[in-house]
Structure 1
Amino acid sequence: MRKLIYVVFILLNVFANAQTGIIKGLVTDKQSESPLPGATIELLQSTTPIGIITDDDGYFRLENVPFGRQTIRISFIGFESITIPNIVVTSGKDAVVNVSLIESFAQLDEIIITNKNAKAKAINKLASVSARQFGVEEVTRFSGGRSDVGRLAANFAGVSSPDDSRNDIVIRGNSPTGLLWRLEGVPIPSPNHFSTAGTTGGPVSALNPNLLKNSDFITSAFPSEYGNAIGGVFDLGFRKGNIDDYEFTGQVGVFTGVEAMAEGPLGKNKGSFLVAGRYSLISLVGGGAGGTSATPNYNDVSFNIDFGKGKLGNFSVFGILGNSDIEFLGDDIDEDDLFAAEDENTFVESGFGVVGLKHQIAIGENSFLRTIASSSFSTNDFKADRFIDKDTPQERSIRYTEADNTETRLTFSTLFNTKLSNKATLRTGVLVENFRVELLERDREEQADINGDGDPDLFTFRDIDENLTIIQPYIQGQLRLTEKLTLNAGVHAQYSSLNEQFVFEPRAGLNYKILKNHTLSFGYGLHHQPVSLPLLFLNEEINGQLVQTNKELDFVRSSHYVLGYDVRIGNGWRGKAEVYYQDIDNAAVESFSSSYSSLTEGADFGFENDRVSLVNAGTGFNQGIELTLEKFFSKGYYGLLTASFFESKYEGSDGIERNTPFNNGQVINFLAGKEFKMGKAQKNVLFFDTRLTFSGGRYFTPVDLAASQQAGFEILQEDIAFSEQYDDYFRWDVKFGYKINSKSKKQSHQFYIDLQNVTGNENVFERRYNRLTNRVDQVDQTGFFPDVGYRFQF
């Protein structure tokens, strides 16, 4: 019967219209991740029936598919079928769709349950709440996103982006340092150009979205396999290259740079290669961007080489390598530059890299073992030479600040997954990370002139070469109690060799389908994370000796509680509401009465240098409600409206409850887009996208102007920390472009113009003391900026 269906579908395909593309992919069992041979794939919205069934390895190749956005339905007897809309079919590249089906709760013969809008759910089957899936099409589609996954996430409910100059993201009032980045199942350092030690963001992303497959973004109560984070998780994966044909992409954009990508088959076991390189366009043509007049130079190479399935399982090698540098020369710097000053020459170099070997092997029909070994690094070199008595006959220059920071990780992860039945799945594993941390930082800021040379002394705040190991075992499972009720539960544990602390973290999530289109969910999770390494290894001078007095600090602890409601509103529409409360303790605070807390770190590009002899006595909380109304792309348009209303507070050692710098209060995003088919054959597309963002202003600590003028450097009024708030943030972005599909060749073109902050709204970056003018100046964020780009696929 299966062969007969296959022959019928092939005959139908022969009579399909010309000027068509291809949809192909892999269909697997979501619980066991084993392939499903004989699954049926149907192209919907087609006048001529088009379909295919998967081969013995679960692969399918649906040919003669009309250009444009298409919808397919994947079904398999005994499994819940899935409808996948919004698949972009072009002439320049095959559309790849990998699908996981879940076995029906009861053994069914003919009845098929259809799960629509599958993209609203996380790829990780054990994520119950506060999780959503996103893909490369979304990353590159949204206006103002600069093809950056971090900026994409800023559109989701519960997320805000602190400023236009960096892609740090604040999740439910947590510091950006609480974010966990994962690639192919292993944690990685901040995947950004110009990143600094201990941070998770940067001005330009080193992640090439053209290599990403559909991935997960989780904002609370993470499943048990995620650890060492209290804010959120980016769980990213690289797609495999084309296993049938060679394909190439050339691309250029203001922020993404000049790019070339190649992919194609490798070997006889359905292996493939995928490799891409990018180089900054601005460094080629000159000029500045993103809030500075200096010229940034950056480049990166990304790859994923899959060797296919053999007798010993499936092996693949993946990686990213990137570096960046920029020079801020005082004579060329404007007074409103976001990153530099007119009386300094500053030189910045940074690097990022990860290389991993991944292996997966099936154990029986319903289990697999996945093992990953990787090495990663992050480097940052910063030097600042300050002019003394600038523009006078006595002008001279001294080395004022220098930092040379390197973090290297060796990571080993192994995971065993087994499908016990159609109602139960078990997953267990362990993650081992060894960190080598080399931090050197010297600075004259706020230092006395003890040696009497007329200049503040160059004090060594950090000078370390340390090793530490973090071990994270976990076990978790999913139990489908009834057809409507699903329980996800597990335990994560975490051990640090630095202070020999060991903690257990219970996690649980419950999903209950009240009615056909209505679902309630509840999640709880206990999470721990060390204080950021730049704080842990700070030096304090005691009796003439430099001592790391923060080194024995315990993990910061956070309990997450989430209640959610999800509803499908008609065809292609979805509504969602979540309320949450996050209780935080063990934060690092000063041992004397003070407003400081480690929960406020991450608001700036670096970490404070004078917070020593800290103790784990700080507390905080985040609470709020999030609303989402989403129209998935269909009938030529999409829409997304998200609104977050929240409160983020903390207490230092003085016991006074204060706003965190991340307590914006509310964030509202509206995104929409429309496509128009063009030409006689209706194969080309004219598209428009727009985004409106409104946010409450960030809280900040006011400058003590009189004290700053007397000292010659900025002094803040810490007794009233984070008591004042910047003006509300508003930004409107508009993007439009044109896609051209070739009539006779496997080629496609795309042009776009992305007008960012079209109203030129003056959003506040910060108010800071200017030592040259002896006043407090307001510096605004990036104003109107046009981004243009072109892509050629063949």
Structure 2
Amino acid sequence: MKKIILALTFLYGFSMFSQTGTLKGIVVDKQSENPLEGATIELLNVEIATGVITDFDGRFTLENVPIGRQMVRVSYIGFESTTIPNVVITTGKDAFITVQLLESFNQLDEVILTNSDHKNEPLNKLATVSARQFGVEEVTRFSGGRSDVGRLAANFAGVSAPDDSRNDIVIRGNSPTGLLWRLEGVPIPSPNHFSTIGTTGSPVSALNPNLLKNSDFITSAFPAEYGNAIGGVFDLGFRKGNPDDYEYTLQTGVFTGLEAMAEGPLGKNRGSFLVAGRYAMTSILGVGGAGGTSSVPNYNDISFNVDFGRVNSGNLSAFGIIGTSDIEFKGDDIDPDDLFAAEDENSYVDSQFGVFGLKYNLSLNQNSFLRTVASMSYSGNNFKADRYLDMDTPEERLVRYTEADNSETRFTFSSLFNTKVSNRFTFRTGLLLETFNIQSLLLDRTEQEDNDNDGDPDLVNFRDIDENITLWQPYIQGQLRVTEKLTLNAGLHTQYSSLNSQFVWEPRAALNYTILPNHTLNLGYGLHHQSIPLPLLFLNENVNGEIQQTNRELDFVRSSHYVLGYDIRLADRWRGKVEIYYQDIDKAGVEAFPSSYSTLTEGADFGFDNDRVSLVNEGTGYNQGIELTLEKFFSKGYYGLLTSSFFESKYEGSDGVERNSPFNNGYVVNLLAGKEFKAGPSGKNVWFVDTRLTTSGGRYYTPVDLESSQQAGYEVLQEDLAFTQQYDDYFRWDVKFGLKINSRKKKQSHQFYFDLQNVTNNENIFVRRYNRLTNNVDRVDQIGFFPDFGYKFQF
């Protein structure tokens, strides 16, 4: 017994002695983005005061930092100091932070103002309304998120995503196609596995959250540098690798798969590399059942960010993602409730996604920089379906029913000039140039006649193109701090498309007024345009025996955004926000004859309608609502987030009837909370539990005309009753718990978690659809209870 007590005492003491970590970072001027030499970094809430000073490059290293969540204060003479809470220190990996300091309004020599850092404030200094930043910890922390940034966004006010099978993002009632994805300052195609042309979501994300740095999510009245979007913006960036030490991560999870990541120093110019690869767990195990299908999805991706360090007077880096995915649905192995397949059909899906870019930041002087990014991206998907006709009869036969082969190759050039004219005025201008090559083939027998009398519906060519499109987007914007309490952001974005030679002007403006130290009023306006989804622009139509693309001359859809927000700091680490908005949409694509159709209803599935031709820009719509947020930032071992949105989304087709859009859920409420408990003899290990409750109104849908469907042999919808019926309300409860272990050995940590998704096994409806085998309208439910798990090892 004495020996056991002595051994435990020794292990306790050894654990207490060795469990420290390292904090690194860089401090920059928020307006000019140049590094600040001589800034002071202080570690707060420790027994012995600890601090360091930044070097010439604005970098610092703070060693022997106690394990756990630490608070850091960063200050610099003449600038408002910033306090950063909840910097997570572990033994397995160096922590890294980027700190932006704002020069004080009045030129101060010795007095230092204090400004607490909040996640609700975006990184983009010119975005002041309907914007917030998020970090990798949030992506991986929240329950039910599957380490997917798209599913993370569903927790924010104004976002609706009541579909367990896809990560589409519905922002304030807009179609998911209204979302703009950006990586390192340039637009990219949908960064998802199994994605299809024109869509922005999919079942599985190809974005590895372990590479992401803090990024911005903007839902309305975007700054002038963003264009060709009317719904929202995901502005993502990759972090840099550790410039001093080699670090490695091994990780596994049901949805993220097996993962390996490495990072470390590169070259003599303080460069670094960061690379990670993931491979689907389902591929290795050869089992399905995840994500709403019994088929086995295969997907993998590689992501990297290579920083070459200082080159001449600037910094050069290369970044990229490569992802591939495929799945086979065999009809004889398909469950009748499969979300994506049918029992009388064999289908084959494969897709590819890739981005490669070079980024160069050139420091022109102490107050100005030029950022240039050149990139190439590729997105391709291939779908083939063979259907059994006259199944289970002597005439049964297998025919090629659908074939789609789509690809988009995009070359992008972006150049941005930023200058800090004074501590009160920042000016920015730039140009974004995108050149698209679109290749698209669509052959389909769905809803077709048998004009060649071979006994089968004709295989019709709906789309067969090889087109090039150039999109120019010059912009200019600035930020003026009118007074210490009033800030004005204003700019002008322009857009030109070579497809239809259309040129548009888009003014943007936002005001931020601090009424009292803890009360802020925001007001924003923005005019935005976006192209009609490409799969619709290039549809074929037979006009007097000649095949024409009668949609290609359609103009941009136009949307005006109006936003009023009120932000209040209720107490230390507590924040409340109310935001009301109105969005007026016109020039949507509708049919030339009276019809309920509008392009505003597209985008929440893998494909688009293939018979909507000769469209005209006469459709309208609007979105309006109020959003409420109550947030307790992580402190004292716990956090909480309550977001609620109450909104209305309507549209009009060419028949002039105002209808619900399919995205008009009416309300969305999210409640998230989490708690950490210290564990182990030294209290450096952590048990954690997180939970998430989500409820929303059901989506509106168009009922099936059962009699017509039975006669036709395929689903026929009652389009005169478009989106008049509503699915039942959506409800889901997720619970996640796990353990973080900081090893006694230097540079090692472990994390385990179990994520119980839809713990009540609530039967949320997915769709009511016509089943051509049973000749009935069947209800298909979404994913029920599903346990996810994961393990991460850092060393």
Do the two structures share a fold, i.e. TM-score over 0.5? yes
2:341: which partner in 1? 340
Residue pairs, 1:81-480, within 5 angstroms: 81-288=81-288, 289-480=290-481
1:670: which partner in 2? 671
In the alignment, is the contact (CA less than 8 A) between 1:17 and 1:64 conserved in 2?
no
In the alignment, is the contact (CA less than 8 A) between 1:117 and 1:572 conserved in 2?
no
- Three-state SS of the structure 2 residue aligned to 1:137 is helix
2:687: which partner in 1? 686
In the alignment, is the contact (CA less than 8 A) between 1:320 and 1:353 conserved in 2?
yes
1:11: which partner in 2? none
Instruction: Write out per-residue CA displacement over residues 566-585 of structure 1, whole angstroms, 9 at most, x where no aligned residue.
Output: 01111111101100000000
In the alignment, is the contact (CA less than 8 A) between 1:509 and 1:523 conserved in 2?
yes
1:779: which partner in 2? 780
- Three-state SS of the structure 2 residue aligned to 1:102 is strand
In the alignment, is the contact (CA less than 8 A) between 1:162 and 1:168 conserved in 2?
no
In the alignment, is the contact (CA less than 8 A) between 2:439 and 2:464 conserved in 1?
yes
**Pairwise CA distance, 1:426:** 0.3
**Pairwise CA distance, 1:509:** 0.5
Instruction: Write out per-residue CA displacement over residues 424-471 of structure 1, whole angstroms, 9 at most, x where no aligned residue.
Output: 000000000000000000100000000000000000000000001000
User: 2: distance between equivalents of 1:368 and 1:321?
Assistant: 30
User: 2: distance between equivalents of 1:391 and 1:65?
Assistant: 70
Instruction: Write out per-residue CA displacement over residues 83-139 of structure 1, whole angstroms, 9 at most, x where no aligned residue.
Output: 111111100000000111000000123322222133220000000100000000000
Give the residue type in structure 2 aligned to 1:596.
Y
Instruction: Write out per-residue CA displacement over residues 370-415 of structure 1, whole angstroms, 9 at most, x where no aligned residue.
Output: 0010000100100000011223333210000000000110000000
- Three-state SS of the structure 2 residue aligned to 1:120 is coil
User: 2: distance between equivalents of 1:575 and 1:18?
Assistant: 40
User: 2: distance between equivalents of 1:629 and 1:75?
Assistant: 29
Instruction: Write out per-residue CA displacement over residues 516-575 of structure 1, whole angstroms, 9 at most, x where no aligned residue.
Output: 010000000000001000000000111222110000000000000000000111111110
User: 2: distance between equivalents of 1:611 and 1:603?
Assistant: 17
User: 2: distance between equivalents of 1:464 and 1:751?
Assistant: 49
User: 1: distance between equivalents of 2:44 and 2:17?
Assistant: 15
User: 2: distance between equivalents of 1:574 and 1:168?
Assistant: 28
User: 1: distance between equivalents of 2:708 and 2:643?
Assistant: 43
User: 1: distance between equivalents of 2:654 and 2:311?
Assistant: 59
- Three-state SS of the structure 2 residue aligned to 1:98 is strand
- Three-state SS of the structure 2 residue aligned to 1:138 is helix
**Pairwise CA distance, 1:56:** 1.3
User: 2: distance between equivalents of 1:60 and 1:682?
Assistant: 27
Instruction: Write out per-residue CA displacement over residues 279-300 of structure 1, whole angstroms, 9 at most, x where no aligned residue.
Output: 0001111221110000000000
In the alignment, is the contact (CA less than 8 A) between 2:180 and 2:232 conserved in 1?
yes
In the alignment, is the contact (CA less than 8 A) between 2:313 and 2:363 conserved in 1?
no
1:3: which partner in 2? none
1:696: which partner in 2? 697
1:584: which partner in 2? 585
1:557: which partner in 2? 558
In the alignment, is the contact (CA less than 8 A) between 2:620 and 2:653 conserved in 1?
yes
Residue pairs, 1:10-49, within 5 angstroms: 18-49=18-49
- Three-state SS of the structure 2 residue aligned to 1:495 is strand
In the alignment, is the contact (CA less than 8 A) between 2:348 and 2:385 conserved in 1?
yes
- Number of equivalent positions: 779
- Three-state SS of the structure 2 residue aligned to 1:118 is coil
In the alignment, is the contact (CA less than 8 A) between 1:162 and 1:169 conserved in 2?
no
The answer as to 2:529 corresponding to 1:538 is no
User: 2: distance between equivalents of 1:534 and 1:56?
Assistant: 51
Give the residue type in structure 1 aligned to 2:41.
I
User: 1: distance between equivalents of 2:432 and 2:117?
Assistant: 33
In the alignment, is the contact (CA less than 8 A) between 2:407 and 2:439 conserved in 1?
yes
Give the residue type in structure 1 aligned to 2:23.
I
Give the residue type in structure 2 aligned to 1:115.
N
User: 1: distance between equivalents of 2:17 and 2:525?
Assistant: 52
User: 1: distance between equivalents of 2:109 and 2:314?
Assistant: 33
Give the residue type in structure 2 aligned to 1:220.
S
Instruction: Write out per-residue CA displacement over residues 741-786 of structure 1, whole angstroms, 9 at most, x where no aligned residue.
Output: 0113210000000000000000010000000000000100000000
User: 2: distance between equivalents of 1:757 and 1:51?
Assistant: 46
User: 1: distance between equivalents of 2:115 and 2:592?
Assistant: 55
Residue pairs, 1:73-84, within 5 angstroms: 73-84=73-84
- Three-state SS of the structure 1 residue aligned to 2:332 is helix
1:491: which partner in 2? 492
**Pairwise CA distance, 1:312:** 4.2
In the alignment, is the contact (CA less than 8 A) between 1:18 and 1:64 conserved in 2?
no
User: 2: distance between equivalents of 1:395 and 1:741?
Assistant: 62
2:10: which partner in 1? none
User: 2: distance between equivalents of 1:615 and 1:137?
Assistant: 46
User: 1: distance between equivalents of 2:725 and 2:259?
Assistant: 44
User: 1: distance between equivalents of 2:99 and 2:119?
Assistant: 11
1:792: which partner in 2? 793
2:9: which partner in 1? none
Give the residue type in structure 2 aligned to 1:21.
G
**Pairwise CA distance, 1:57:** 1.0
1:636: which partner in 2? 637
**Pairwise CA distance, 1:18:** 4.2
1:67: which partner in 2? 67
The answer for unaligned runs of 5 or more in structure 2 is 1-15
Report % sequence identity. 76
1:750: which partner in 2? 751
- TM-score normalised to the size of structure 2? 0.97
Cα-Cα RMSD? 0.8
User: 1: distance between equivalents of 2:215 and 2:17?
Assistant: 34
- Three-state SS of the structure 1 residue aligned to 2:319 is strand
In the alignment, is the contact (CA less than 8 A) between 2:212 and 2:236 conserved in 1?
yes
User: 2: distance between equivalents of 1:448 and 1:310?
Assistant: 64
1:9: which partner in 2? none
Instruction: Write out per-residue CA displacement over residues 205-229 of structure 1, whole angstroms, 9 at most, x where no aligned residue.
Output: 0000000000000000000000000
2:5: which partner in 1? none
Give the residue type in structure 1 aligned to 2:454.
D
User: 2: distance between equivalents of 1:120 and 1:625?
Assistant: 17
User: 2: distance between equivalents of 1:377 and 1:550?
Assistant: 24
- Three-state SS of the structure 2 residue aligned to 1:97 is strand
Give the residue type in structure 1 aligned to 2:53.
I
Give the residue type in structure 1 aligned to 2:568.
V
Instruction: Write out per-residue CA displacement over residues 613-659 of structure 1, whole angstroms, 9 at most, x where no aligned residue.
Output: 00000000000000000001111000000000000000000000000
User: 1: distance between equivalents of 2:712 and 2:579?
Assistant: 48
